[in-house]
Structure 1
Amino acid sequence: MRKLLVCLVALLLHGAVVTAAELRGTGDLGIVIERAAGSVQIVETTHRVALGRVEGLGDLSHASAVFSRDGRYAYVFGRDGGLTKVDLLERRIANRVVQAGNSIGGAISDDGSLVAVANYEPGGVKVFDAETLTPVADIPSVTLADGKRAKVVGLEDSGHRRFAFSLYEAGQTWLADLADPAHPKVERFENVGKLPYDALVTPDGRFYIAGLFGEDGLALIDLWHPEKGATHILEGYDKGEEPLPVYKMPHLEGWAEAGDLLFLPAIGRHELLVVERRDWQEVGRIPVHGQPVFAEARPDGRQVWVNFAHPDNDVVQVIDVPTLRVVDTLRPGKAVLHLEFTPRGEQVWISARDSDEVVVYDTETRTVMTRINAAKPSGIFFTARANRIGL
């Protein structure tokens, strides 16, 4: 009888765990940042529904996220220096540390073992064990004339336990090798340009590109051949023209690659630059509704969807890549902040902060499939990112 009771208790406990996880895979899950509430909604893209909310993540006013290799855990980087590990299946905080005073995002290593955080205050990068969030490395940035450290921006996974990042006030890019986390090896690229403000790694992992706020053009580093140093591309694209006021900086991770073309927001212009990937030369410009913030390519490369800075931020435009023309102008809601495609691109999820909604579109018909209530939503991140380089 005692053995029977033990077995029954074990089965009941197992059932409780199964119920919590709902025997669910993670491939169609994601999170929506609720910036004002310090919470995230866990969403599922197959049925286009919200599954639940996880609270207590701190200041999410400029939050981003990466995922574990299996897609079960989201690592959320908060503006208050918080790094929170969220269990998407059990819908709870698995671990949380406040590791700095002000942070601006992070990355996870290609093997899923290390999570790195870019910090404004104090400037530098801190690296944590992805399983336990135990600190394993601290890489301080350079000290400036005022005694403060330079802010770190544009932190990206660059393969083989390496992270690339830029130092905003110092005009530098560093490549940190954490094959041995206890003894990081840092390669410095100095004088890359004025005020690098964000960066991306191309989807094949080869190039690190940093935007330069203080000058026209971008800094490029070939990660296959870092010994070549940093070079400049697209220099003087705005030469001779009076730039418009910049209300919100473009996000480089949102810059679109479709085939051999890159679509880049022009700082201070109502234009997208079209760049040929093979030689990094500008081959065209597309006039758009406002100052672009995110330009996201549908996974098949046929379309690019663009959102805009204030005061034009209630609009999303759709660009047809073969013709390089705007083919649709949509109004999802007030203050569109972010958009994210499902892995095969049949849906795009758009956050409309001031409408308190996430709006889901069919990308072929460009019709609304559903609207999901959310408290001041901003970033949307799907677990498919776990299998993409540079995110």
Structure 2
Amino acid sequence: MLNPTLIRWAALLAGLMTGHVLAEPMPNAAELYQQHCLSCHGAQRTGGMGPALLPQSLERLKRSDALKTIRDGRPATQMPGFGTTLEPAALQALVDHLYTPPADTPGWTAEQIRQSRQQTTAPDQLKNKPVFKADPHNLFVVVEGGDHHATILDGDKLTPIHRFATRYALHGGPKFSPDGRYVYFASRDGWISKFDIWNLKTVAEIRAGLNTRNIAVSSDGRYVLAGNYLPQSVVLFDQDLNLLRVYDAQSAEGKISRVSAVYDAAPRKSFIVALKDVPEAWEIPYADDAPPVAKGQVHDHQLGEAVFQPGQFTPITIPLDDILDDFFFDPPYTHLIGASRNGKGQVINLNIRRKIADLDLAGMPHLGSGITWLRDGQPILATPNLKDGQVTVIDMRTWQTIKQIPTLGPGFFMRSHENTPYVWVDSMMSPTGKDTLQIIDKATLEVVKTVRPEPGKTLAHIEFTRDGKYALASLWEQDGALIVFDAATWKEIKRIPMSKPVGKYNVYNKITRSAGTSH
């Protein structure tokens, strides 16, 4: 095949020699997409064999990385490289096209959701006990973003048991059934997958939307809720990923909104939903005996003119003073602690459904990664910050800030465990501190140790083994690894090679809702 760049330069040279140099026409990006991308990514760029290629789906992918993928392809996938068939200008035109919203915003209807469901493993092919000998509660599910795989890791032997392909670009932490047997994943382009850890098989998949924020699993294991950016909706499934209901994500006044996050509030037997574009949250009860809900507490556009409706799955409106981008619960799940990306924090009492306190949260707190512990017998919470190099520590009795702990730069994750006196925090968003973890004493609130095993490489996301003896960190690189530290001595124990391990999740810590990890 002739190199198109050589052809182009030969034509230009010929034009110079004859004195007839014509301006090169701009590449037609839409035609390029139709010719080279449509068969895998769909006519509306909503995905097919390949992932969705909409701006909402690509928001965490740099344009330079998108260009590299189109030019060079993606290893271990069916994505070819077009660097030898398209000129640089055409490659760049394709990138610009993908980051431009389509003229007609694509939708995803309830019927399309139902039609997308796939039963990948029949129930009669599944054994009712683990097919391996490891402790099923001391397993880690490791999400490897480098090549879109996940690994099931034995937390006792610290060795992999099984590795399997996932959907493209998993988004948000996986969620577990209460017994720890099943784990549910959500991809950025809307696919929800149910994986049977005991049998090491994907059981079912369904597409909840075109751009999904995250999912939640009910405390009784019977329901799964997904929150979408596109279309703006909240989608309810049963435990087998059969569609039950689609809610339009809009305020009581009818304003359409993306969904910031959905979480399970286990003691309340309800889901909590935060809307990204309006100052409002919902509580959706799922208990069979949920009490009736008065009309004044719910959205008229969803429930018509009836004065009362059954309480189960009926969204109850919680008006807010500010939008919630991120939120967190106190251990009894009585209070919702939330923050917007402009640093405004608020505490909402879910029983009386109103704000009871403001929080002093500068910068861009990441409350979704916040944790709690007891200090001098009193509950406190701590949160890292996506903008400033600090950890904010708050007294949960008064909601006053106790201390701002300086860190090496903006961080995304912090973690601890009931059996350790320390908190680990990263500074992965700092150019100079991204390779270092800082260890904070829970009692003194002072940094007592830093670890920097790979200078210059990103180190993030600590998670502990079931007993809290070991802390596993992610070397967040394409040719990365899990680095295992002794949680008491902070010494490195071993490394387990992984492809950009963006997160690891211990089954026991998640299903018991350990105060040291996010829920």
The answer, yes or no, to whether TM exceeds 0.5 is yes
Asked whether the 8 Å contact 2:411–2:430 carries over to 1, the reply is: no
Asked whether the 8 Å contact 2:251–2:280 carries over to 1, the reply is: no
- Pair 250,37 (structure 1): closer, same or farther in 2 beyond 3 Å: farther
Which 10-residue stretch deviates more, 175-184 or 256-265? 175-184
Post-superposition offset of 1:17: 6.0
- Pair 359,175 (structure 1): closer, same or farther in 2 beyond 3 Å: same
Q: Which has the higher helix share?
A: 2
**1:304 corresponds to:** 423
Letter in 1 for 2:150: V
Post-superposition offset of 1:100: 0.7
- Pair 102,213 (structure 1): closer, same or farther in 2 beyond 3 Å: same
Which structure has the bigger radius of gyration? 2
Q: Distance between the aligned counterparts of 2:407 and 2:460, measured in 1?
A: 17
Within the candidate set 146, 152, 155, 1:42 is matched to: 152
Asked whether the 8 Å contact 1:173–1:189 carries over to 2, the reply is: yes
**2:258 corresponds to:** 151
Post-superposition offset of 1:305: 0.6
Unaligned runs of 5+ in 1: 1-13, 244-248
Deviations 1:90-149 (A, max 9, x none): 22211111211111211111111111112111122211111x11011222211799x994
Within the candidate set 314, 328, 345, 1:185 is matched to: 314
**2:164 corresponds to:** 54
Asked whether the 8 Å contact 1:258–1:301 carries over to 2, the reply is: no
- Pair 192,18 (structure 1): closer, same or farther in 2 beyond 3 Å: closer
Which 10-residue stretch deviates more, 72-81 or 174-183? 174-183
Does residue 123 of the first structure (1) align with residue 248 of the second (2)?
Answer: no
**2:459 corresponds to:** 336
- Pair 86,148 (structure 1): closer, same or farther in 2 beyond 3 Å: farther
Post-superposition offset of 1:66: 1.0
SS at match of 1:179: coil
- Pair 178,197 (structure 1): closer, same or farther in 2 beyond 3 Å: same
Asked whether the 8 Å contact 2:320–2:354 carries over to 1, the reply is: no
Post-superposition offset of 1:19: 10
Post-superposition offset of 1:233: 2.2
**1:207 corresponds to:** 335
**2:471 corresponds to:** 348
Post-superposition offset of 1:20: 7.4
Post-superposition offset of 1:18: 9.4
Unaligned runs of 5+ in 2: 1-123, 291-309
Q: Which has the higher strand share?
A: 1
Does residue 294 of the first structure (1) align with residue 294 of the second (2)?
Answer: no
- Superposed counterparts of 1:200-349, under 5 Å: 200-214=328-342, 216-223=343-350, 225=351, 227-235=352-360, 237-238=361-362, 250-259=365-374, 260-266=379-385, 268-300=387-419, 302-308=421-427, 309-311=429-431, 312-333=433-454, 334-349=457-472
- Pair 360,314 (structure 1): closer, same or farther in 2 beyond 3 Å: same
- Superposed counterparts of 1:56-205, under 5 Å: 56-60=166-170, 62-130=171-239, 132-142=240-250, 149-159=256-266, 160-179=268-287, 184-193=313-322, 195-205=323-333
Q: Distance between the aligned counterparts of 2:486 and 2:320, measured in 1?
A: 45
SS at match of 2:413: strand
Asked whether the 8 Å contact 2:137–2:466 carries over to 1, the reply is: no
Does residue 374 of the first structure (1) align with residue 498 of the second (2)?
Answer: yes
Asked whether the 8 Å contact 1:161–1:177 carries over to 2, the reply is: yes
Q: Distance between the aligned counterparts of 2:180 and 2:496, measured in 1?
A: 22
Q: Distance between the aligned counterparts of 2:260 and 2:366, measured in 1?
A: 11
Asked whether the 8 Å contact 1:128–1:136 carries over to 2, the reply is: yes
Bigger RCO of structures 1 and 2 (CA < 8 A, at least 6 apart): 1
Deviations 1:311-354 (A, max 9, x none): 23211100011111101111244223422112331111111121
Q: Distance between the aligned counterparts of 1:300 and 1:218, measured in 2?
A: 30
Q: Distance between the aligned counterparts of 2:259 and 2:282, measured in 1?
A: 10
Post-superposition offset of 1:212: 1.3
Asked whether the 8 Å contact 1:357–1:374 carries over to 2, the reply is: yes
SS at match of 1:292: coil
Does residue 388 of the first structure (1) align with residue 513 of the second (2)?
Answer: yes
Asked whether the 8 Å contact 1:258–1:302 carries over to 2, the reply is: no
Q: Distance between the aligned counterparts of 1:54 and 1:358, measured in 2?
A: 17
* TM-score for both structures, normalised by structure 2: 0.64
Asked whether the 8 Å contact 1:299–1:343 carries over to 2, the reply is: no
* TM-score for both structures, normalised by structure 1: 0.84
Q: Distance between the aligned counterparts of 1:138 and 1:18, measured in 2?
A: 32
- Pair 112,323 (structure 1): closer, same or farther in 2 beyond 3 Å: same
